[in-house]
Amino acid sequence: MLVLAQAEEFEAYNVKDQAIFLYETFWTSPGELHLPKHIKAAALGGLFRMKKAEAKDLLLAQLQSPEKAFFNVALAAAREMPGADVTAALADELKKAPTRASGIAVVGVGRSDRSAPLAVAEAATKSDLLAMRQAAIYVLSKHRDTSAAAAILLDAALGDGKVAQAAEHALRTVANKDLDPMIVARLASSQGKVKIALFSIAGARGLAAAIPAVRESLADRDPSLRLAAIAALGHIADVQDLDLLITRALAAEPATEVAAARAGPAKWPALRVGDPRAAPRNWPSP
């Protein structure tokens, strides 16, 4: 609509008062005018952009909106709207009722200023709402308190269900120097499913310090643990482990362990060690 385009033009030229006036006119228009939702949503987004922290109360209200279009606009604004008071307000919102909006709004707490209260994010990982727990994982993977956030993420990854999967996925790629020694320390005392998850994370992160624990588990009585160790070794092994991987890859059984050994990158010795002689000439095809 022409008037909305005029508001956007005022915004582009930073004519703040006129832009806000037109955006508010559209946003607060009475229902009998039957404006399309996308027009009102565009006006709402304009208000957030122009008023910034002054629109904090409007932001919180729309994070509870049953209208998906308005909620999505508010959620996007929650990630970017500047101001420590906005972060605090979002954190308080999270503590109230575990509604759909406040649950997903924890993503807004994981804002570009990364100032989300760590206790809030940690509590959200234990919420009854899956959306809140998954959003908390995202927040923690971006949190500026890397040491504490890494510990909480690791605990979440070693749990059960979809949240554990989301946390494990985050730990595979998150750039956090405090995480690697935590993984190695946990490997020394872990067993069963926990150790399998740690092997998966260590392998994905290329964590060479985990190699002793991986080697130790290659002869474990638990076939699932042996399989996880072989898979991890394919990512983090050094030259002295090459013969072991080849032997497993050429073995007749068990088939799952053979497949895991063969899945190790065929060129890793030459690429990682820098010695072309280390690369096997007759690596078996998967």
Its domain, for residue 43, covers 1-78
- Show the 3-state SS of 66-133: CCHHHHHHHHHHHHHCCCHHHHHHHHHHHHCCCCHHHHHCHHHHCCCCCCCCHHHHHHHCCCCCHHHH
Q: Are residues 185 and 274 in the same domain?
A: yes
Q: Find the length of the chain.
A: 286
pLDDT at 42: 95
pLDDT in tens, 28-85: 988 767 889 999 999 999 999 999 999 999 998 998 888 989 988 988 888 788 887 8
Q: Are residues 191 and 278 in the same domain?
A: yes
Q: Are residues 195 and 155 in the same domain?
A: no
Distance of CA 99 to the CA centre of its chain: 21
Give the C-alpha separation, 128 to 173, whole Å. Answer: 26
CB neighbour list of residue 222: distance below 8 Å, 6 or more residues apart:
192
Q: Are residues 196 and 141 in the same domain?
A: no
Confidence of residue 245 (pLDDT cuts 50, 70, 90): low
Residues 27 and 55: beta-carbon distance below 8 Å? no
Query: What φ, ψ does residue 219 adopt, rounded to 5°?
Result: -110, 15
Q: Which residue has the higher pLDDT, 123 or 196?
A: 196
Q: Are residues 89 and 60 in the same domain?
A: no
pLDDT at 59: 92
Q: Are residues 140 and 219 in the same domain?
A: no
Q: Are residues 48 and 87 in the same domain?
A: no
pLDDT at 172: 87
Q: Are residues 173 and 197 in the same domain?
A: no
Give the C-alpha separation, 226 to 213, whole Å. Answer: 11
Domain boundary among 45, 78, 111: 78
Q: Are residues 188 and 276 in the same domain?
A: yes
